[in-house]
Amino acid sequence: MAKVDGPLFSLEAKGKIGDAIVFFPWKGRHAVRRWLKPTNPRDIDQKLVRQKMAAFGKCLRAVTTPSASGLVNGSDMVVTVKALTPATQIWNAYLVKMGMQDLAVDGAWTAIMAGVAATSVSNGWVSGAEALLLTTLPSTADGYASDIPAWQQLVAAAYSCWKMGASFCAVDMSVNPSEMILADVTLFASAFTVAH
């Protein structure tokens, strides 16, 4: 994308010229780029990925950020993930990216969730999600996917933290969520809301 000053011999230009180039403001600057026809694929695979992204987003709403509470730096989750996030990225986007690298594929999501559901601490994931007031993410009307329960959203966040090597206060995140013990599951859920 080119950045331009005084595009088309003016102080500002917006819009497209034919189907060739587009002028637009971007971050307070004038920009120009090649015109691309917008696409919005609605195939099954894309819808499944979008649903998983929505599940991460719904789960991360439970995280206490500095502006949402009296916690100066936010919850333990925010402080820890921000410390691990590369300087060029936003902490919540990085957390989602780390999880989606593996969980975007429907088979991988199903396998990980089945592995967690088969453990003796599966009720801990359910209680942790309930404590955070997470709710089920319903499937859409076209029926391409099933609902994503609240506990699976919490597991997805734990999977991301495990992938990035996060180390919360007293939580053993060196193991896959399917291998976590009940105490770690409880502490992980509390990391969403307690101070660092």
Secondary structure of residue 33 in the 3-state scheme: strand
Global pTM reads 0.77
Mean pLDDT of 94-118: 92
Dihedral-angle region of residue 166 (phi above 0 means left; psi in -120 to 50 means alpha; beta otherwise): beta
Q: What is the pLDDT of residues 19-60, one digit of tens each?
A: 888 888 888 788 888 888 877 777 788 888 888 999 999 999
- CA dist list (Å): 86 to 63, 78, 91, 149, 158: 20, 14, 8, 30, 19
Q: What is the pLDDT of residues 127-169, one digit of tens each?
A: 999 999 999 988 876 666 788 999 999 999 999 999 998 887 6
141: tokens are 């009307």
Going from N- to C-terminal start, the domains of the chain cover 2-34, 44-190
72: tokens are 């100066």
